[in-house]
């Protein structure tokens, strides 16, 4: 195993013990408030990164990009196999490239389909529908209001959410909208809920004080249709998908601790699926047994070894932070560095790059010295 430093000035490779790093300034993309003009009424828009998501890599895109520029250069296909919000694949999305996005959560598959899907939509029709959905005056209780009203949202907003969700299903069933258009509307709903939910950014709990009235409004996602025509989205376990695909760059960003994403985002997953399951407990979670990730369990290392063994790609970029023995048990990393290096080394020479960053957490703990790391392998074996 050879460990090298990046040619990039700002990056310092530090493994196993030393630590010297300059704070990386992030590519802050100022949230846009563009106006989408329609024949009916102007509509506000939103961008893919404008949601709260644990472990999202928007703030470390500069590190990933530095590694890709210095170590790879040009490439034609990129697979974001644990895509989450999809911001990493989206960053590399151009008309010349094929972006493969995948996530175990259906809710993420829906947002990937909206932002990165290869089918066009009728923008004028969808804008009109969004305006109509915003105008609904919902006074009757439904699945969303009965379970989430007065908790994550006010009762009236929860009624509005439930009615919007029902309407989206209806118009899809009546073939007024395509699946691509349905995904755009659902993505608009998901981001609208996330903007105002009475939480610290995930849905393991809601904030137990009076839910304030909020400005719940659906907006239009900003989508680069011209760049999407080669893309493909999946909703599979990464270890199953890896056996079915090939790509130039494989970007691997699994959960690193025991916090299951299906727990943290159960509410969004539930509303996106709209199967209206029973919910339990104070947080009103549905049964998520089938959505548990191996990467948050004891067999994470075994799953990772299997993933790497079956990867058919030219380059691997693997994000994993340095929380092996820090924080509390729940935030400890599931895999240790020796195992990671041993597994990656089976494919080729490993280089490690890192960046200090402020993690998006529940806001309770400030673990200050978090380091986001990218392990890089040029596959030769
Ligand atoms: C650290 S997050 C990825 C964040 C993403 N890179 C971003 O910037 O938003 C890990 C993601 O892996 C997904 N996941 C967990 N286990 C998985 C599995 N076995 N197969 C596919 N996706 C999985 C989770 O749902 C979660 O969205």
| Greatest Cα pair distance in the chain | 65
Given ligand 1 and candidates 53, 63, 104, which is best to mutate, with the most ligand atoms within 8 Å of its CB? 104
Phi/psi at 235 (5° precision): -130, 70
- Phi, psi angles (nearest 5°) of residue 317: -120, 125
Q: Decide: 347 in ligand 1 pocket, CB within 6 A.
A: no
Give residue-wise pLDDT tens across range 104-131. Answer: 999 999 999 999 999 999 999 999 999 9
* Per-domain boundaries in the chain: 35-378
Q: Read off the DSSP letter of residue 72.
A: T
Residue 35: per-residue pLDDT: 38
Q: In this predicted model, what pLDDT tens digit does every residue of 86-108 receive, in sequence order?
A: 999 999 999 999 999 999 999 99
Whole-number CA gyration radius for the chain:
21
Distance in angstroms (rounded) separating the CA atoms of residues 82 and 95: 22
Residue 84 tokens read as 């989450």
Q: From atom 27 of ligand 1, which residue's Cα is the shortest distance away?
A: 84
- Residue 307 Cα to ligand 1 midpoint, Å, equals 14
Confidence at residue 312, expressed as pLDDT on a 0 to 100 scale: 98
* Range with lowest mean pLDDT among 152-156, 219-223, 243-247, 266-270: 152-156
Residue 1: the pLDDT is 39
φ, ψ dihedrals at 94, nearest 5°: -135, 165
User: Regarding the domain with residue range 35-378, which homologous superfamily does it belong to in the CATH classification?
Assistant: Vaccinia Virus protein VP39 (3.40.50.150)
90 lines ligand 1 (CB under 6 A): no
- Structure pTM? 0.88
* Ligand 1 atom nearest to CA at 303: 19
352/331: higher pLDDT: 352
Looking at the predicted structure, is the pLDDT value of residue 148 above 50?
A: yes
Question: Sign of the C-alpha dihedral, residues 154, 156, 157, 162?
Answer: positive
Q: Is 89 touching ligand 1 by the criterion CB < 6 Å?
A: no
> Is the CB of residue 180 below 6 angstroms from any atom belonging to ligand 1?
no
**φ/ψ (deg, to 5) at 95:** -60, -25
- Residues 235, 239: Cα–Cα separation, whole Å: 12
């Amino acid at each position: 195993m050879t460990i090298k430093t990046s040619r990039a000035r700002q990056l310092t490779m530090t493994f196993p013990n030393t630590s010297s790093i300059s704070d990386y300034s992030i590519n802050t993309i100022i949230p846009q408030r563009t106006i989408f003009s329609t024949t009916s009424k102007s509509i506000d828009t939103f961008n893919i990164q404008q949601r709260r998501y644990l472990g999202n890599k928007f703030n470390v895109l500069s590190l990933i990009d530095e590694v890709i520029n210095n170590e790879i250069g040009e490439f034609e296909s990129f697979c974001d196999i644990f895509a989450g919000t999809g911001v990493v694949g989206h960053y590399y999305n151009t008309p010349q490239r094929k972006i493969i996005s995948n996530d175990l959560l259906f809710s993420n598959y829906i947002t990937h389909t909206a932002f990165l899907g290869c089918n066009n939509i009728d923008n004028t029709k969808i804008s009109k529908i969004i305006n109509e959905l915003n105008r609904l005056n919902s006074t009757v209780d439904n699945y969303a209001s009965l379970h989430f009203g007065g908790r994550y949202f006010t009762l009236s907003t929860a009624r509005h959410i439930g009615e919007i969700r029902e309407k989206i299903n209806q118009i899809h069933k009546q073939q007024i909208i395509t699946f691509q258009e349905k995904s755009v509307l659902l993505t608009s709903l998901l981001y609208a809920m996330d903007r105002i939910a009475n939480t610290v950014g995930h849905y393991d709990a809601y904030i137990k004080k009076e839910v304030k009235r909020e400005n719940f409004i659906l907006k239009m996602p900003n989508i680069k249709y011209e760049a999407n025509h080669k893309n493909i989205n999946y909703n599979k376990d990464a270890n199953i998908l890896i056996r079915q695909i090939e790509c130039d760059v494989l970007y691997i960003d699994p959960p690193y601790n025991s916090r299951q994403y299906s727990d943290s985002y159960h509410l969004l997953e539930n509303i996106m699926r709209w199967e209206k399951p029973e919910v339990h407990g104070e947080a009103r979670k549905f049964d998520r047994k089938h959505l548990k990730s191996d990467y948050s369990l004891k067999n994470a290392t075994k799953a990772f070894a299997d993933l790497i063994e079956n990867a058919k790609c030219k380059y691997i970029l693997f994000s994993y932070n340095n929380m092996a023995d820090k924080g509390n048990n729940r935030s400890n990393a599931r895999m240790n560095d020796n195992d990671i290096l041993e597994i990656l080394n089976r494919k080729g020479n490993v280089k490690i790059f890192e960046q200090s960053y402020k993690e998006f957490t529940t806001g309770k703990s400030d673990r200050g010295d978090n380091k986001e790391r990218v392990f890089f392998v040029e596959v030769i074996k």
